[in-house]
């Protein structure tokens, strides 16, 4: 079996991305959950690059005629999942920011914030 340049470059990039993701976990800048998702994504990229026949199985399981369609739909689903996760995280950050700004404003005004029970 002769390897194409893509079959060499894609797994190398995948390995670099995985090393980077897990180094961020060790530095406590990312969660283990994020690193696991990153690992699954890049492992899929490397697997598809090295074993393109995996897409034939994916197309069969999903009921598509062409493996390109199966790949496109699968990655659209993955990207949608990632965007949903980002939206949830941004909303959480907005709520935290609002809470911090509100308590800071009350403190500067000399008022005490009522504790919520």
Residue 6 shares a structural domain with residue 39: yes
Q: What is the pTM of this model?
A: 0.60
pLDDT of residue 59: 81
> Mean per-residue pLDDT for 77-94?
84
Nearest residue to 7 (alpha-carbon basis) of 67, 50, 54:
50
Residue 46 shares a structural domain with residue 73: no
The reply to whether 62 falls in a domain is no
The set of residues, in sequence order, having a beta carbon less than 8 Å from that of 102 and lying 6+ positions away, is: 113
Q: What angle do CA 92, 33, 80 make, to 5 degrees?
A: 65
Domain membership of residue 34 as a residue range: 1-52
User: Final residue of a domain: which of 52, 76, 92?
Assistant: 52
Percent of the residues in the chain that have a pLDDT greater than 70, as a whole number: 94
Residue 47 shares a structural domain with residue 73: no
> Mean per-residue pLDDT for 110-116?
66
The reply to whether 8 falls in a domain is yes
Cα gap 51→46, rounded to integer Å: 8
Residue 46 shares a structural domain with residue 91: no
Could you give phi then psi for residue 4, rounded to 5 degrees?
Answer: -85, 165
Number of domains in the chain: 2
Residue 1 shares a structural domain with residue 46: yes
């Amino acid at each position: 079996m002769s390897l194409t340049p893509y079959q060499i470059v894609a797994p190398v990039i995948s390995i670099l991305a995985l090393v980077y993701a897990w180094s961020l976990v060790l530095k406590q800048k990312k969660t283990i959950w994020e690193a696991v998702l990153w690992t699954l994504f890049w492992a899929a990229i490397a697997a598809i690059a090295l074993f393109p026949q995996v897409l034939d199985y994916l197309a069969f399981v999903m009921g598509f005629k062409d493996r390109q369609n199966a790949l496109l739909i699968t990655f659209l689903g993955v990207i949608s999942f990632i965007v949903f996760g980002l939206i949830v995280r941004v909303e959480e950050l907005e709520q935290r920011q609002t809470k911090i700004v509100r308590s800071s404003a009350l403190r500067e005004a000399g008022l005490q914030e009522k504790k919520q029970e």
